[in-house]
Structure 1
Amino acid sequence: MKRFLILISLLLVLAVAAGPASAFVVTATPSTVNVNDNVSIFVSTQALAVQSACVISVDYGDASGGVVNCAAGVTCNGYLNHNYIATGNYTVTATAGAPCVLGLDMLPPSDTTNVTVTCPPLTVTTSALPDGITGRPYSAQLLASGSGIGAWKLDEGELPDGLTLTTSGQIIGTPKAVGVFDFAVSVQKSCGPDVVTAGAVLSIRVDTPATADLHISRIQLSFDNGRPETTISRNQPGLRVHADLRFDGTGLLKGYWEVDGQMLAPVNQHLTYGKSLRLTTPAAPLLPTFVEGSHRVRLVITMPENEIPFPEAIYYVTSEESAADLTPLRPVGPANYAELVYAEQDFNWEGSGAAVYLVEFYARGSEEPLAAAYTRSPTYGLPDAILKEKFQPGETYSWRVKSFDSEGTLIGISEPLFFVFQ
């Protein structure tokens, strides 16, 4: 009996020395956060089951808190989410309330963990601003990292005369004087009850239009009627489109005239300082008027780069043939209803002193050209590539030629001649 009591005493000593088998804990993840970021708080009785239903209270350390409800007979684990609205160091305390009896041993009734709340860094990310031109509207947006950006202000220096800085960080206006203008700006951001400030030193260079790079500010298209749309008869001569450009600066203007998505003629012109320019579609090649329906014309500018849209001019070709007084052209060969070898062929006609000729080929019964080409001489060689792509042996085709003067006016036309490839 004495030995048994001694054994029991030793076991009690060891149990007291070892302490509880499991602990009551509270953790916070992450333990360092920015203002208004979420913190996940975890409360656990670890491996020990509570003996009866109870409540664990959690104090977030900022005069607010929450609770975790525990059911009897199971391990109690619970998550709470919290957002701190001010910077500081906070102690989170979880306390097990009565009648929480955790396991057979009394565990510590509370546990704590720490959370550090800081303000996110604020940085001005704008490092350079675009140059300005006197007399040209200017706009630039200052940028800073993060969200909830507050008011911008000018701290030191001066903006170019004619420009202002808005509280939203826009620099807008029309510069009035040339020069390089250095200045310092700052921006604020609320961080709970605190305010974070960031700043930067920037500059704007202002030049005159004469020394600035070429800049196109407007493109307006019109026909001879002064409007961007017109209706014409089939094969009506002299159709032209005009492009009125507003620009400043000096530089190379490059682009092309486009009809129905296909390039008609290139544009390549060096512009010196001015305000306006009129470009006109060339006399050759002419705007096509031999296909009925709507056609769209654009002046596409590839240099300088610009953000303005390219407007369209639209002309509608009716089925009525133009009644212009035309000089007959006399084809020389091949003869009418000639049977030709299926190979490259020359088509000839008597010259009339025209600036350019248009040769058109038609499939039998079709009113739209199968193929067409411009030439300055009274002859045209049908290339083998076009022959193989457009023409078939045994089929009947027709051809005719039109002549145009240096202004692009239709002055002559031949009767159609028929031929067949063997």
Structure 2
Amino acid sequence: MIAEANVSSVTVSPQRANVNVKGASALSLTWNVTRFEPTAPTTVLVSSTNAVLQINGSTVANLGGLLSRQSSLAAAQSETLRFNEVLSISPALARKIAEAPAGSVLISRTFTDTQTTGLARLSVFAGTGQGGALSINRIDLKFDNDARTDVIAKGDTRRAIAEINFRSSGLLKGEWRIIDPSASLGSARGRILQVVRQQVVSSGQGRTRIVSPALPTAKNGLYLLTFSVEDADGIAELPVLRYFVLEGATDRPRDNLTTLSPGNGARVSQDTVFAWENVPGALAYQIEIFNPGHSKVVSGKVVSAKDLKLRLSAFSLDNLTSGESYDWRLRAFDQEGRVIGSSPRQLIYMP
């Protein structure tokens, strides 16, 4: 007679687990396998080769080892076999879990009695999950035209965007703060442009996007903008956006600013230094990088007039590609936001 025993269900306890964001973790799990024999006595081996860690449906690691127990059933009898194990999560796997979208990480085991199979899964999260304190671990700022530094005509409308990475859930408390041309460049915090209170929810790694109100453009000159948040212990320094407001485009001079390095056509690296001569009356300088022959800025940086050089590593390099050539130029601005110096475009190559 052919045995007809079945694995009728597999469950796991707990059904969700949290791992350390940094360092190794140990997960204590109990797998419960229920079998039923409808007709004849059977003795079989119930086993599972290993547990599987999956992120977004893709297997990233095999965990644990073989679990097996013998099961003997009489006709019309059922039983539940319990398998206890401790799974080790390495620091490398913990980093992958922390970087994964919340709810996308699963650990599963498939059990078989050589005739039928059953599967159980538990969800895995980084940190303390929804019950833990909100933690902000990254803030990225840019303007709504994707620029990291900008020159805006007086009266024009521009907004900024804060992309925020966080863990756990809670009330995000933030402030858009700005230093306008009437303030000292040494004013560290500036004035509050807008207070933000937003509930954010994640069982692991979360991300949210916050748009600023329309930025001030009534006065000519240099503006510094930042988004300050509570619970940002993991951020050493808040990013700052810089923009200049100009009266208009009619005051742009001819190319009259002398740059010292890099030379035209130079191969550059992150250690390349951009250097230039002082322009009397300058309040700030702006380096702009373009695709050759185009006017849209792909990267750039505004610095105080006390700086006459800047390393390429100080730029946002996200939009610069190895193996591509770019144009760059330098402009100088006075206290009123007028362009008082400009260099001709030069070519650089990123190997």
Provide the TM-score with structure 2 as the length reference. 0.33
State TM-score, norm by structure 1. 0.28
By relative contact order (CA 8 Å, sep 6+), the higher-ranking structure is: 2
Greater radius of gyration (CA): 1
